Structure 1
């Protein structure tokens, strides 16, 4: 029996790609590096900001000093821009309201740095109850390490096999399976069905409200 849900944030609950891309493109432009379009950034995100920066910078410029400086600059810019264009995907508000009304426990686990995760959630999700929200940091390693998911399982007082883990990427599906949770992939985010299935998605959603079938 499913008793709770852990959601990924970017690409699952919110469409944040424009704020991420605009911020990183500013970093690249300041260094006269080539910039990228939004679709390309969808392939860069999912493993944290450091990996995003590495993916975005030209291969021949990825020395430690440049990566470190670009990461610091990206964090500065994105901290200011992270809620400019970011918004909930269609159907998410209705889904969360329904889940709250049913008393289903909800949490969020993002690979975004914890302070940025908290800022986005505070701004966009004040109308709904979440048991816990965590991003990556010193104590919580990035997905697909399952430590964060298992931490939330403990905080929610729900066994891992009674939890759904919802995400848009192979990293999310891998995390769910490593944690012993039901892996649910969504198709409105940044990755495609093939990636989700290859990494162990047990259920695929085309629309947020389809998640309610798990509680019928």
Structure 2
């Protein structure tokens, strides 16, 4: 069956548009230090992110070979987020070429959106800080009452918001979570290899287009329009 043309594009944030891993690692390590646990390096941090920062913290604790009660995780998470909310854009930066790509898409009046599992306020602030010139149609992170990815609710919400069928949407991400989100909603999708997952893991998701550079991403977007 012939694919429908892409008329709007949603992007994941962390690992897709913005390299946030060092700021996230600093926040996670702040929480681990509260319990005397050894810090994670950037590569280890990449292994635990993608399903919200509380789940990343749980994963980080497990990597250190311990298990804590829900109450202790809650205390660690509160401390981590107190730090992260004021240090979330210290080292974070757009991947090379991403800003230019967004500017070209925006100039063509293609509706653009960001859909992230990062806390909603932080998602909005990162986008506003790093991409102030881009007229995003929708920016949404994790908030109470709104299911996190890989639930398809966000994709369906955006589809309804802009009045386009899901089949006319493209979702761009960097992880199996993004792949599952797009697959469950029925929209088209592209995965990028420069983010937080090893390329070989993404290549195993054979139903998705995998690109290795922003130039390849732009070419792949143009191919479906």
TM-score by length of 1: 0.95
1:142 correspondence with 2:143:
no
Deviates more, 1:113-122 or 1:76-85: 113-122
Q: Report the CA distance between 1:12 and its aligned residue.
A: 0.1
Q: What is the aligned counterpart of 2:199 among 178, 193, 196? A: 193
Q: Report the CA distance between 1:192 and its aligned residue.
A: 2.4
- CA distance in structure 1 between the aligned counterparts of 2:42 and 2:77, rounded to whole angstroms: 19
Structure 1 residues 147-170: Cα deviation after superposition (integer angstroms, max 9, x where no partner): 011111111222111111000000
1:161 correspondence with 2:167:
yes
Counterpart residue number, 2:12 = 8
Q: Is the 8 A contact 1:132 1:152 kept in 2?
A: yes
Structure 1 residues 76-123: Cα deviation after superposition (integer angstroms, max 9, x where no partner): 111011000000000101100110111111000000011111111111
Q: Is the 8 A contact 2:192 2:217 kept in 1?
A: no
1:67 correspondence with 2:73:
yes
Runs of at least 4 residues off by over 6 Å:
none
Unaligned runs of 5+ residues in structure 1 are none
Report how many residues are paired: 216
Q: Is the 8 A contact 1:8 1:172 kept in 2?
A: yes
Alignment of 1:18-167 (within 5 A): 18-57=22-61, 58-167=64-173
- CA distance in structure 2 between the aligned counterparts of 1:157 and 1:197, rounded to whole angstroms: 32
Aligned to 1:82, the other structure's residue is in SS state: coil
- CA distance in structure 1 between the aligned counterparts of 2:81 and 2:124, rounded to whole angstroms: 14
Counterpart residue number, 2:177 = 171
Unaligned runs of 5+ residues in structure 2 are none
- CA distance in structure 2 between the aligned counterparts of 1:169 and 1:200, rounded to whole angstroms: 13
Q: Is the 8 A contact 1:143 1:175 kept in 2?
A: yes
Structure 1 residues 133-152: Cα deviation after superposition (integer angstroms, max 9, x where no partner): 00011132111001011111
